[in-house]
Structure 1
Amino acid sequence: MIRCHCMVQVITVFCICFFFVCTCIAAESIHDATVWINKGKDAFQNKDFVSAIAAYDQALLLDEFYTEGWKLRGDALMELKRYAEAAESYDRAISIDKTNADLLGKKGRAIYELGKYQDALDIFTRAVSLNPYIFQNQDGYGDVLAALNRFTEADYAYTSALKIDPKSNATWNKKGEVLAKMYRNEEALAAFNQSIQIYPESAEVWNNLGSVYFSMGNMEKALKAFEQAISLDESYIPQKYGDTLSRLAKAGQDDQIISSSTSSSDPVSPLIFTLPPAIFLLNYVMIGIGILAILMIGILGFMKRRTLKKRGL
Structure 2
Amino acid sequence: MRRRRSMAGAGLAAAVALGALAGCTMSSAAQAREADLRAREHVATAARLSDEGLLDEAIAELQLAIQANPELTTAHVNLGELYRVQGDFPSAERSYREAVRLEPRSFDAQYGHGLVLHLMGRLADAVAAYLRALAIDGEDFNANLNLATAYLQEGRARQALPYAEKAVALNPESGPARVNLGAVYATLGDHERAIRAYQAAAELMDLTPPLLLNLANSLGQTGRYQEMVNTLGQLLRVEPSAEAYERLGFAYFRLNRIEDAAAAFRNAVAMDDRHYPALNGLGVCLLNRFLLSDRTDAEARREGVDALRRSLRINRDQPRIVDLVSRYG
Deviations 1:178-232 (A, max 9, x none): 212222111111111222222135343233223322333434323433343455x
| In structure 1, distance between residues paired with 2:80 and 2:18 | 45
Task: Tell me which residue corresponds to 1:200.
Answer: 206
| In structure 2, distance between residues paired with 1:100 and 1:30 | 19
Task: Tell me which residue corresponds to 1:277.
Answer: none
Which of the numbers 217, 227, 248 marks the counterpart of 1:244? 248
Task: Give the letter aligned to residue 212 of structure 1.
Answer: S
How big is the shift at 1:9? 6.6
Report the RMSD for the aligned CA atoms in angstroms.
3.1
Q: State whether structure 2 residue 144 is matched by structure 1 residue 138.
A: yes
Task: Tell me which residue corresponds to 2:221.
Answer: 215
How big is the shift at 1:251? 4.9
Which of the numbers 76, 80, 103 marks the counterpart of 2:86? 80
How big is the shift at 1:129? 3.6
Q: State whether structure 2 residue 71 is matched by structure 1 residue 65.
A: yes
| In structure 2, distance between residues paired with 1:119 and 1:252 | 48
How big is the shift at 1:246? 7.7
1:176–1:187: 8 Å Cα contact kept in structure 2?
A: yes
Which of the numbers 111, 121, 124 marks the counterpart of 1:105? 111
Task: Tell me which residue corresponds to 2:194.
Answer: 188
1:211–1:240: 8 Å Cα contact kept in structure 2?
A: no
| In structure 1, distance between residues paired with 2:38 and 2:130 | 34
Task: Tell me which residue corresponds to 1:276.
Answer: none
| In structure 2, distance between residues paired with 1:253 and 1:227 | 17
How big is the shift at 1:70? 0.8
Deviations 1:8-49 (A, max 9, x none): 675566455544543443233222211221222233334443
How big is the shift at 1:173? 0.9
1:32–1:59: 8 Å Cα contact kept in structure 2?
A: yes
How big is the shift at 1:51? 3.0
Task: Tell me which residue corresponds to 1:127.
Answer: 133
Distance 1:178 1:95, change over 3 A: same
| In structure 1, distance between residues paired with 2:200 and 2:162 | 17
Bigger Rg over Cα: 1
Q: State whether structure 2 residue 62 is matched by structure 1 residue 56.
A: yes
Task: Give the letter aligned to residue 239 of structure 1.
Answer: E
Q: Percent identity?
A: 15
2:235–2:244: 8 Å Cα contact kept in structure 1?
A: no
* Structure 2 SS opposite 1:115: coil
* Structure 1 SS opposite 2:213: helix
Task: Give the letter aligned to residue 92 of structure 2.
Answer: A
| In structure 1, distance between residues paired with 2:97 and 2:247 | 48
Moved more, 19-28 or 91-100: 19-28
| In structure 2, distance between residues paired with 1:41 and 1:224 | 48
2:178–2:197: 8 Å Cα contact kept in structure 1?
A: yes
Could you tell me which runs of 5 or more consecutive residues in structure 2 were left unpaired when the two chains were aligned.
260-329
How big is the shift at 1:112? 2.5
TM-score of the superposed pair, with normalisation by structure 2: 0.65
Q: State whether structure 2 residue 62 is matched by structure 1 residue 27.
A: no
| Number of equivalenced pairs | 252
| In structure 2, distance between residues paired with 1:193 and 1:46 | 39
Task: Give the letter aligned to residue 46 of structure 2.
Answer: G
Q: State whether structure 2 residue 99 is matched by structure 1 residue 93.
A: yes
Task: Give the letter aligned to residue 148 of structure 1.
Answer: E
Task: Tell me which residue corresponds to 1:114.
Answer: 120
Task: Tell me which residue corresponds to 2:303.
Answer: none
* Structure 2 SS opposite 1:198: coil
Task: Tell me which residue corresponds to 1:165.
Answer: 171
